[in-house]
Amino acid sequence: MSERGPNPAGSRKRPIKPLALDVRVPAQPLDYSVLIGRGVIERVGEEIRQRHGGAATVALVSDSNVAPLHGAAVRAALERSGLQVAPMTVPAGEASKSAAALLELTEQLLRAGIGRRDVVVALGGGVIGDLAGLAAALYMRGIPVVQCPTSLLAQVDASVGGKVAIDLPGAKNLLGVFHFPSVVLVDPDLLATLPEREFCAGLAEMLKHGALFSPEHFREVVEAADAIHARDFDTIARLLATSVGLKAACVGRDPWEQAEAGKGRVLLNLGHTLGHAIEVASSYQLVHGEAVALGMRAAARVAIGRGLAAPELEATIVAALARLRLPTDLDVWLTGDLGDAVERLLAHDKKRSGGQVSYVVIARLGEPSVISLHFRELMALARQGTTA
């Protein structure tokens, strides 16, 4: 990580504060930077100019919530660098990660005359990052994408690592590729307009990075809860830099997700196995980060049940989730009809592996590992301690 000073050319409209961290993400030979800092979005045009001298037009892809809030400022920043802008807006929400939306977007790229040397800018949450990233990967066999994440989840997680995908009916993220961004601009000030629930959901992924790789980061996030909820963007920028650094180091060790089981990107699935089943069982009434929060509590229970972690781990996770205003009531999702639904979903997910699950646990904060167990044992261990 290196610190960069303010950039005078980018400070015409809004002063860029000195905190702009450059986290290099190794992805040989496609290493890229994640620039993190308040106001960093102002220099999107310059960053494109530096990397893609031949670019004339930028396809500015956003969603129907984000475009009216931030589209004009980003467009102006691009135009200041002499780039033409073709704005493209898709309906907000996961439904836009569809084959139909992907095709429509690539046709819009064609109609806008986007060429091989032009650039796609993805301005939005994880949905836009994934959809626009995949469109860029496929269009003309691949043109550059610049990720400008606007949700906390996308800033701390989805925009870093190069995975882009759409959903197939009943199969999330199934149609995708790796398409590394040429640069990622993480501007915490964009979070000012993010709804509270989405904001908290992103905190779950931040906490996850601490739980996996850094007890200090975990504690720092919890201790900063009041400042975070007050949207103190200096504090948030600092925490984002650490959290992105942790994710970048993980994906940098395993850019193509091929590392030995238990070593690479698979660790980032902490809380996701059961979390995903809970998210689906809730009919998406829980947002992804909320389900991951419950999944992390379940992972603590499983680790304790297997004798891998001390009994205090669950309480540590629960206290952290509560401070961050994330749900902690796991039992309701493991018992009764909901519990049956979660178990059925897990069974369906693991059908191809004979019911075996590769499951990420932590022995203590900062000490992840992957265990293999049957989904029935997983459910039994997660249910330990439930009262029903």
Ligand X SMILES: NC(=O)c1ccc[n+]([C@@H]2O[C@H](COP(=O)([O-])OP(=O)(O)OC[C@H]3O[C@@H](n4cnc5c(N)ncnc54)[C@H](O)[C@@H]3O)[C@@H](O)[C@H]2O)c1
Length of the chain: 388
Among the listed residues 71, 124, 252, 305, the single contact to ligand X using CB under 6 A: 124
> Residue 3 and residue 350: Cα distance in Å, rounded?
44
Nearer to ligand X, 69 or 227 (CB): 69
172 is annotated as an active-site residue: no
Query: Judged by CB under 6 A, which of 52, 97, 208, 272 binds ligand X?
Result: 97
CA distance 123 to 74: 9
In the bound state with ligand X, the residue whose beta carbon lies nearer, of 91 and 311, is: 91
Please list every residue from 233 through 292 that binds ligand X, using CB under 6 A. Answer: 288
Rounded to 10 degrees, what is the CA torsion of 292, 215, 154, 171?
A: -30
118: closest CA among 42, 40, 186, 51? 51
Q: Which stretch binds ligand X (CB under 6 A): 31-39, 160-168, 308-316, 361-369?
A: 160-168
CA gap 183, 51 in Å, rounded: 9
Residue 45 or 149 with smaller CB distance to ligand X: 149
Taking CA 277 as the corner, what is the angle to CA 271 and CA 278, rounded to the nearest 5 degrees? 80
**Residue 127 or 206: which CB sits closer to ligand X?**
127
- Does position 126 interact with ligand X (CB under 6 A)? The reply is yes
User: Residues in contact with ligand X, total (CB under 6 A)?
Assistant: 30
Binding segment (CB under 6 A) for ligand X, from list 125-133, 226-234, 333-341, 354-362: 125-133
Q: Name which of 258, 259, 188, 270 is nearest 230 in CA terms.
A: 188
Active site residue 276: yes
Catalytic-role residue among 276, 301, 323, 383: 276
**Subset of residues 59 to 78 that bind ligand X, contact rule: CB under 6 A:** 63, 65-66, 69
**Is residue 173 close enough to count as binding ligand X by CB under 6 A?**
yes
Place of tokens 């907000």: 92
Q: Pick the binder of ligand X from 43, 52, 75, 163 (CB under 6 A).
A: 163
Which of 23, 136, 145, 158 touches ligand X by CB under 6 A? 158
Instruction: Identify whether 70 is a catalytic site residue.
Output: no
Radius of gyration of the chain (CA): 21
Catalytic: 13? no
Say what angle helices 288-305 and 272-281 make with each other, to 10 degrees. 130
Closer residue to ligand X (CB): 208 or 383: 208
Q: Which of 97, 179, 209, 272 is catalytic?
A: 272
Closest CA to 155 of 47, 241, 91: 241
Q: Is 348 a catalytic residue?
A: no
Is 94 one of the binding residues for ligand X (CB under 6 A)? Answer: yes
Do 171 and 345 contact (CB within 8 A), yes or no? no
Q: Give, in order, the Cα–Cα distances in Å from 174 to each of 89, 152, 257, 357.
A: 23, 23, 15, 19
Q: Which of 52, 179, 198, 269 is catalytic?
A: 269
Peptide bond into 8 cis (omega under 30): no
Interface with ligand X (CB under 6 A): 63, 65-66, 69, 92-94, 97, 124-128, 130, 150-151, 153-154, 157-158, 161, 163-164, 173, 190-191, 193-194, 198, 288
Task: Give the catalytic positions in this structure.
Answer: 141, 163, 205, 247, 257, 265, 269, 272, 276, 288
